[in-house]
Amino acid sequence: MELLSKLGIDWSLLVAQMVNFGVLVGLLTFLVYKPLLNVLDARREKIRKSMEDVKLIERQKKDMEVLREAELRKIDQECGAFMEKTKQQAEKMRQEILATAKKESEQLLERGRQQLESERGRVFADVQQVLTTVIMKMTQKIIEREFSKDDQDRILASLSQELPKHLR
């Protein structure tokens, strides 16, 4: 102890300072250092949890992107199928309309032909009737001049029967 006194160190003061330093270190440890370590640990844990959450969110984002792409492909396929189905229905309707129009035009053409044929037959019958009448009158006048009454009746009867057959 004497050595300490020669150096100018008071042993009791040194012990008191050491006790004060120990109390100060103890108080700082309990009041500042441990709460600060707890805050730092909590912050570190919060950052770690946030990083895990970020990774989880990124994984979910990737999964959602994959799902979105799959849904878009599915919708694309459905739209393509719908468009193809619509095209097929439109083509089918076009074919039906064309078939109906063709059928109607054929029916109209056939009706026209039938009307033309009946009109032609009627006109031919009218012409035949007029021609027969004219020929009969002309023949009658010629026969009256040239033949007797019996010859005239026989020729007229023969012409009446034969003439319509030759005009057809």
pLDDT at 168 over 60: no
What pLDDT, on the 0 to 100 scale, is given for residue 39?
Answer: 92
How many whole angstroms separate alpha carbon 64 and alpha carbon 117? 77
Please choose, from the candidates 44, 162, 87, 73, the residue with its C-alpha nearest in 3D space to the C-alpha of residue 154. 162
Least confident interval from 6-10, 58-62, 125-129? 6-10
Rg of the chain on CA atoms, in Å = 64
Q: How far apart are CA 132 and CA 124, in angstroms?
A: 12
- Measured in residues, the chain has a length of 168
What are 64-123's pLDDT values in tens digits? Answer: 999 999 999 999 999 999 999 999 999 999 999 999 999 999 999 999 999 999 998 888
- Model confidence band, residue 130 (pLDDT cutoffs 50, 70, 90): confident
Share of the chain above pLDDT 90, in %: 55
The pLDDT assigned to 77 comes to 94
- Contact of 159 with 139, CB cutoff 8 Å: yes
Confidence of residue 167 (pLDDT cuts 50, 70, 90): low
Any idea where the domains of the chain sit in the sequence?
A: 2-167
- Return the closest-CA partner of residue 157 out of 130, 134, 139: 139
Give the Cα separation of 168 and 164 in Å (integer). 7
d(CA 41, CA 34): 10
What pLDDT is attached to residue 52?
96
CA-CA distance, 55 to 92, in Å (whole number)?
Answer: 55
Tell me the HSE value of 100 on the side-chain side, using a 13 A CA sphere.
Answer: 6
Compute the distance between CA of residue 59 and CA of residue 66 in angstroms, rounded to an integer.
Answer: 10
